[in-house]
Amino acid sequence: MTEPARDRVVRGLRSQFESLHGKRSAGEELVGWKVGLNAAPVQEQLGISRPVLGHLTTGSLIEPGAAHPTAGGVHLGVEPEVAIHLGASGTIEALGPAIEVVDLDPATTELEAILAGNVFHRGVVLGPPVAGLRPSELATVTASVTKNGVLAERARFADTGEEPAEAIALIAERLALAGEELRAGQVIIAGSLTPIVFVEPGDSIEVDLGSLGALALSLV
């Protein structure tokens, strides 16, 4: 990452953490972090060479199977992701499934503004962690997204996924730029495994992550 890009990341993160501080002051609790902008073409467009981070709080948690309101959204989409549940010292305690709901506002195109806005994050569905599943077993996982009963996207983790240890290292590095660090009990969602599946009110979504489990979400 070039120095100008690093400076933009730092400024964007500072703005994001000011927003996070406001949420926590209002009673939301920090749940963890997201790997954002993990698609190479998007990184190239924004002048960065590695993904960035966003934050997850209790204010954006969505219960599995729940109906998520679309009011106020601009261009909503869903992404299937691996959730990394952290133990002490950034170790992997468990892995599980996740759906991230994003809102891609086309008016937000600058890196600093994207970071300040929490990298398009709108909500997250976290499934239960899978006991005993090793990171090496992710190589056999295929992620599929079904919309209204029709397969919308499918991809193998081996082709598109970020190794959990690398995702943890990335988030730790990005947090260090803002003077923060990972803590036990936090969750990292490690980036979309498929292209975004855009959604509208009335859509029903099912995400299947094989041995990691399946999740459902409806949009209203």
CA distances from 162 to 55, 75, 192 (A): 18, 25, 9
- Band (pLDDT 50/70/90 cuts) for residue 41 is confident
- Enumerate the domain spans of the chain: 3-219
Decide if pLDDT at 42 tops 80.
Answer: yes
- Band (pLDDT 50/70/90 cuts) for residue 66 is very high
CA-closest candidate to residue 79, choices 137, 185, 158, 155: 155
Domain 3-219 has CATH 3.90.850.10: yes
Crossing angle of helices 3-25 and 164-177, in 10° steps, is 90
State percent of the chain over pLDDT 70. 99
pTM: 0.94
pLDDT of amino acid 32: 97
Per residue in 128-163, pLDDT (tens digit) is 999 899 999 999 999 999 999 999 999 999 999 989
pLDDT of amino acid 39: 82
Q: How many CB atoms lie within 10 A of CB 216?
A: 16
- Band (pLDDT 50/70/90 cuts) for residue 58 is very high
**What mean pLDDT is reported for the chain?**
94
pLDDT of amino acid 38: 86
- Band (pLDDT 50/70/90 cuts) for residue 64 is very high
CA distance 50 to 217: 30
Per residue in 86-107, pLDDT (tens digit) is 999 889 999 999 999 999 998 8
Per residue in 172-183, pLDDT (tens digit) is 999 998 889 999
CA distance 189 to 32: 8
pLDDT of amino acid 212: 96
- Residue 77 in contact with residue 205, Cβ under 8 Å? no
